[in-house]
Amino acid sequence: MRKTSRKTAIASITLLLIVLIIASIFQFFLTNQADACFGRRRHPPLGRTIVKHFVYPDQTPIGECLEVELWNDGNEPLQTAHTDPSGTVVFPGLHDGTFTIEYSWQGTKRYETVRIDCTRFVWEFTNEVPYWTVIKTFYYDTQPPLPISHLKVTLDGREALTDETGTVVFDGVKAGKYVIAWVWGGEPQSEMVEIGFQTESPVVLTNFLEPKSGGGKKSRVEL
């Protein structure tokens, strides 16, 4: 009977010790996890990275050279970066907190607030930015100017006819250099148009063409 009681007592003590050890390990783990997250807010290390992608509505990247700034919640500038060919900027070495991403698109300042914390080291965000619209209007170079309708105009391989107001519209245009072309008086004519990130939309262009009897050799272009 005594042997049984002793064995039971030893088993109970052993089990208790095992439970205490497991509890200690579990408590240590929880404490370290809490320190890893909440403790870093008291003593924030630099280690978070914000990765920002800029794309068009069709999800293709905008390309390089868009200037992007990162500000902290105290309205202080922290870093400035420019998009790479994939339309991406990277802001490394950040601590937990709230940040503002600032950039200018089509001549308008845009802002986005992001919050990062200890749950991961790399935070990725994607911004969808709008296309441009190009509006081109043709007039006879007369007094008063008269609209030229049904004139075929091409931009980057896309064709359209001017309406009764002499206007043609191209939507969904991305930043870049384009040639707008048409034929007048039997001769091909063209105009180079460059659209940058800060170009306002719509891009409004106007051409004044001499009547066809003049051979179409002279035109007046207004932007």
pTM for the complete prediction?
0.75
Q: Which residues pair with 110 in a beta bridge?
A: 103
Q: Which pLDDT value is given to residue 74?
A: 86
Residue 223 has pLDDT above 80, yes or no: no
CB 102 within 8 A of CB 195: no
- Is the pLDDT reported for residue 221 higher than 50? no
Residue 61 has pLDDT above 70, yes or no: yes
Question: To the nearest whole percent, how much of the chain has pLDDT over 90?
Answer: 71
134-169 pLDDT, tens digit each: 999 999 999 999 999 999 999 999 999 999 999 999
Q: What are phi and psi of 147, to 5 degrees?
A: -65, 150
CA distances from 142 to 66, 139, 164, 189 (A): 42, 8, 17, 19
CATH superfamily, domain at 132-222: Immunoglobulins (2.60.40.10)
List the one residue out of 42, 174, 140, 35 whose CA is nearest residue 149.
140
Strands 187-195 and 176-184 turn out to be antiparallel
Length of the chain: 223
* pLDDT computed for residue 7 by the predictor: 63
Tell me: pLDDT of 68 over 80. yes
Q: Delimit the domains of the chain by residue range.
A: 1-43, 48-128, 132-222
Intrachain domains 48-128 and 132-222 with the same fold: yes
Tens of pLDDT along 7-35? 676 666 776 667 566 656 545 444 444 43
**Nearest alpha carbon to residue 58 among 112, 131, 161:** 131
* Cβ atoms within 10 Å, residue 71: 17
Predicted confidence (pLDDT) per residue in 97-110, tens digit: 999 999 999 999 99
Cβ(111)–Cβ(69) under 8 Å?
A: no
Q: Which CATH architecture has domain 48-128?
A: Sandwich (2.60)
